[in-house]
Amino acid sequence: MRKSEGSPTVAIVGGGFSGAAVALHLARNQEKGREARIIVFEPRAKLGAGLAYDTAEPTNRINVPAGKMSLYPDEPESFVRYMDRADALADDRGALTAEGVPYPRRSVFGDYVASEIAPYGSAGVIEHRRSPVLEVTRSGNQWAILADNGQVLTADIVVVAVSHPAPTLPKALLPVLPHPKLVADPTKADAFEVIAPANRVLIVGNGLTSADVVAALEQRGHYGPIISISRRGLRSRGHPAVAQEPYGDFVSKPITHASEVLRRIRQALRAARQQGLDWHPVLDAVRAQGQQIWQNLPVVERRRIARLARTYWDVHRFRIAPQVESVLDQAVESGQLNILAASVAAAAIEGQEIVVDLKQRGLDAQHRITVDAIVVTTGPAHGSILQSQPFLATLEEAGVLTPCATGLGIACDLHARAIGADGSAERSLFIAGPLARGAFGELMGLPQVTEHAVFVAREVKALVAFSRLPSKAGQSVRAARGIAHAFASCSERDG
């Protein structure tokens, strides 16, 4: 029998990395006799992989060295040790760089997380329900969760960990939607089956996903020309040849203006250069201090950064795996890959081909190209997350969830509790993972996502502890009934 029968129920919606990591850290830190029932809703077969790590594509590699990715902030070597134990690189000769640094396939990281969580599943501490959640509604002081299989679960605490919605198609590409070679979501299995090696391909977007697409096409023997476009034509940067310690201090003297953030970064870059360092350690310092920098800024300045500096930030902080970088470099060098600063002005199907009018940055005239296939890599549509699926839309309609003011996710306070339309925080509804970054700041790379999951697990644990008080007879009683206000909406808006 489940040990936590009769205990508060914690429902985690989304069992990608964030949801799985919250479940795991909650499970391993529960107090004896105060265990919650932990249920993770995740349609994927494996817990812990999510969009990033649930991929069978062999060219999809983690984009930082394996030693920087771990489920446990105080055990950075945990993933590397797993790889040794599982002999995970045995069939992957390309995993090590010339310097011997491992950049395994992303699926290996998914396997690692799944293997860490598995014992809790076998012990009945964490339950994986493979049904997507369709609706979450308030039910007194609890939450009613309707899953796709028609079952309704009543939970005391809900953690929303659904992070990455499907990408939205740029409007100009809508006329091309019926074309069989429009790949609107390249993360889907077999997405590239429709593209023949000789095809002329347009990739819309120039970030890491675009790089993944080029690597995947190359792996399939692609030799047709590829044009990859983004508004500024910026390409994700690689890692330094030699690792350097983070350089720069952006928090001792708090910064309260976006322009000052940029000024201080430029200053640090100049100082680094004088010491023979390149830009990597400076951007690493900004990333490490990113949450504090962000939280020192008023919302209007955060918005300014999200609007004006995000593209530049993304290409410098999301580094590309060396193996993928070298594929891109060779494709550029051979003339097969052309990276342009341009956007799609119009697109139309003509016979089997697609005719695209490109608006090149800095040029008035449009440039017409004809391609056989288009791959959209503009990334998950985080800005419209609350419209991305019914359970989020319903919670927004009920005033429980609101979009965050920066347009980067869902509004929450610095306890990760969702902030509703009346400005108050929901005590028992948490936002885990990148969707909380409007409040917390830099929260996309694995190290920060891990730390955030540990933090959310701690917050949930505190609420679970608060919810179970020993009765006179020495038994526990349900707080939801005795101290109803613990789960009710609170009116303060911290952070």
Catalog residues that contact ligand FAD under the rule CB under 6 A.
13-14, 16-19, 41-44, 50-52, 62-64, 69, 106, 132-133, 161-164, 389, 391, 433-434, 444-446, 449
Please give the Cα distance from 7 to 407 (Å, whole number). Answer: 37
- C-beta of 436: minimal distance to ligand FAD in Å? 9
When the beta carbons of 19 and 420 are compared against ligand FAD, the nearer one is 19
Q: CB 40 → ligand FAD: shortest distance, Å? A: 8
25/164 with CB nearer ligand FAD: 164
Q: Tell the smallest beta-carbon distance from residue 320 to ligand FAD (Å).
A: 10
CA angle, 486 then 71 then 250, to 5°: 85
Least Å distance, CB 195 to ligand FAD, is 19
Nearest to 388 by CA among 168, 171, 172: 168
Residue number with CB closer to ligand FAD (115 or 360)? 115
341, with CB counted inside 10 A (0-12, 13-18, 19+), is middle
At closest approach, how far in Å is the CB of 19 from ligand FAD?
Answer: 6
Q: Is the CB of 328 or the CB of 446 nearer to ligand FAD?
A: 446
Which is nearer to ligand FAD, 289 or 296 (by Cβ)?
289
Nearest residue to ligand FAD by CB is 16
* 300-309 LR contacts (CB < 8 Å, sep 24+): 301/256, 301/257, 301/258, 302/258, 302/405, 302/406, 302/438, 303/405, 303/406, 303/407, 304/258, 305/258, 305/261, 306/406, 306/407, 306/408, 308/258, 309/258, 309/261, 309/262
Listed as own residue / partner, the contacts of 69-78 with beta carbons closer than 8 Å and 24 or more positions apart are 69/109, 69/446, 69/447, 70/446, 70/447, 70/450, 71/21, 71/24, 71/112, 71/113, 71/116, 71/450, 72/450, 73/447, 73/450, 73/451, 73/454, 78/112, 78/116
Shortest distance (Å) from residue 439 CB to ligand FAD? 15
Residue (296 or 378) nearer to ligand FAD, CB:
378
Q: How far is the CB of 187 from ligand FAD (least distance, A)?
A: 6
Residue whose CB is less far from ligand FAD, 176 or 444:
444
Token code pair at residue 124: 């009945």
- CB of 8 or CB of 167, closer to ligand FAD: 167
Q: Is 405 left (phi over 0), alpha (psi -120 to 50) or beta?
A: alpha
| Distance of closest approach, residue 435 Cβ to ligand FAD, in angstroms | 7
